[in-house]
Structure 1
Amino acid sequence: MMTNDPGRRKRLLLVGAGHAHLFSFARIERFLRGGIDVTVISSAPLRFFGTGPEVLGDSDGMKELTVDVRALVERGGGRFLEGRVASVHPQEHCVRMESGEELFFDALSLNIGSEIPSALLGGSPGRVFAVRSISSLLELRRRILALPPGAKPHLAVAGGGPSGCEAAANVYELSRRHGRSLRITLTTGAAGLLPYFPLKARRLVAAELQKIGVEVSERRTTLVSGDTLVYSDGSTGDADFLVVATGARPSKVLTESGLEVDDEGAVIVDEYLQSLSAKGVFGGGDCVAFQPMELERSASHALRQGRVLFANLLAYLSGEPMRPFIPKKEPLTILNLGRTGLLVRKPFVARGRFALLLKRWIDRRIVKEFQSPSEEKS
């Protein structure tokens, strides 16, 4: 519970270990010096900061993009709590864990990403793989490499956004390099491939997918039941494997919290990344909706939000003025398409191996800041 004792140390809860919290994790000692104790809650101590589909094509490179969040937090003097949040109670300034533990806060920051709806994860065990789950994609990789000679299973990808395109292309590249053969299909919905991308980018990706034999359909996968896929036009199909890269929504923990959320369930935040409905509750990344303007969900925006989140959490708890988050108008986006890459920074669009090399350099430079020397060498 909250108290007004001026001598009491303030309590900051950072829930989730996404891109928007990295900057704060690395500066926990700054909070401590200001009389603020920090607890970080994450479902796992290690966090991979590449894109999920990349592990299909290059699982050996995972170490370079993995941060030991527990070690980072504890090096700074914070408390790391492994577990999941069951409910958030902003009026009580309390978070309840699935374990039953209650944690009280003076300020709370949310960076818990989004989830795939259960209707798309209801297939037969071992056949449905969520693109946002690294362990799930590693299992898919293992299953593909274990295919017997001559087998040609059907792998379906649901979702025509960046993750769906990357998944289809990286599955192809994995199968090509290891002498496996798959029929790969991708369903996009009526909006088609990469609906928010420039037309040139959409055409280049469509051409690349066609070149590697991926069959693209504008039907939308709406339900998975056993081995059967149900499409938006009422037709059905089957697949040996399904990669779900669509329909991600913020956790229902947020929609049930009483915080003001948008139609998709994301917490609406103002220019300071603070909830419109609860003072002292902040957030960044996929689980928030930026009220001043619509932003696409991207690691680029989340990383930039991270610096402002750190500054504003410190300012809020210290009684100082906060600063607004000013999004970059045209952030750089690079897609990993297995054997090539796509670079987009409006209005510039280009495809080639150079884009892959640039993406790897940028990702590794970002992650290196948050790794310990031993992690960098491993």
Structure 2
Amino acid sequence: MNKVKKVATIGLAVTAVVGAGFTAARTAGAEPAPSYCAEMPDAVGLYVGNPVTRMGFPVGRVESIVEKGGHVEVTFSTDGDRPLPADVKAVTRSKSILADRSLELVGNDTSGPTLEPGSCIPLQNSRTPKAISEVVGSAADFIEALSPEGSADTVEMAVAGLDQALRGQGDNARSMMLHAADAMESPDKFVADIGTAIANMAPLSEQALADWAAIKSVVEQMPDVAVAGIDLWPGTIDVCVGIGWLVATLDDIQRKYGGDIWPFVHGQVADAIALAAGRTGEIQSLVATVPSLAAVADQQTRNAGGLTMQYTPPTITLSDEDADRLCALLDTVRPGSCTPTESGARVSPTGLMDLVLLNGAAQ
């Protein structure tokens, strides 16, 4: 009996040693699971040991969750040697309204660049859903904004203000509804009026399109025109001041001489205008000849071979004594107009004309 027990004990020991060696060999020969990390906005509902999934199927587990200032760094490992694309995205999802979530990796397997083990999915490629508490909190904030505590600006006050504003407007609202109903009873006329308005605007639109280059040029030059207008504005003020002085002067003339001016304007001036209006053809023909006469006169005076006319002032013969007395008299009228010569005295035509005019004025 003791021999049987010894044999059984030796067999169990050998089996345990062989199994341990096989397990150690298998463990030593297996490769470690690749590890990655993801920068998440938050880790609500995410715990160590939660599954990592792709298209809903588990492919790994969450190894650690570490807070990194404004975000959370989630380290996870994946089963097998399936690579992750370089632009893979990380999303936390939940199958129910409960907070327990899994880490979902989103991205198609391609032959392009892959995410190296030990690398992190950046924060811009990570998304987390809003928690129920955040949604409820947002609703509470909205309600509080509508009706803040200790404030008179409440929904009740808004409804009361609307009631006060609409009070007494029933007749106007009824009239508006009746007019709208009348328009809807005969929509053809209403639609026809709209069509007519659109059709009448068509030429304006076509002309605007045809002159669009000019319109664009005007709009583009408006800033320069505005700047020039600012520079010229003082001149406009001066013009307005001058117009004020002119009006004041005209008013002064009207007050002092209006009684003499208006009868003359309504009398002789009106008759002259009426006469000129009745003979516009003759006046037009007369005025039309002025350029021709001016051209002929200009040609005769400027060209060397033009028509000329010689004029010799009249001369008279006087004795020396008479000539001296006449020359002295002319010099008193206009000094230097009479010049003594060996044969008598020479009087310029201008001096003679002055003598005639002065004599006529004296008479």
TM-score relative to the length of structure 2? 0.15
Structure-1-length-normalised TM-score: 0.15
Considering fraction of residues, name the structure with more strand. Answer: 1
More helix as a share of residues: 2
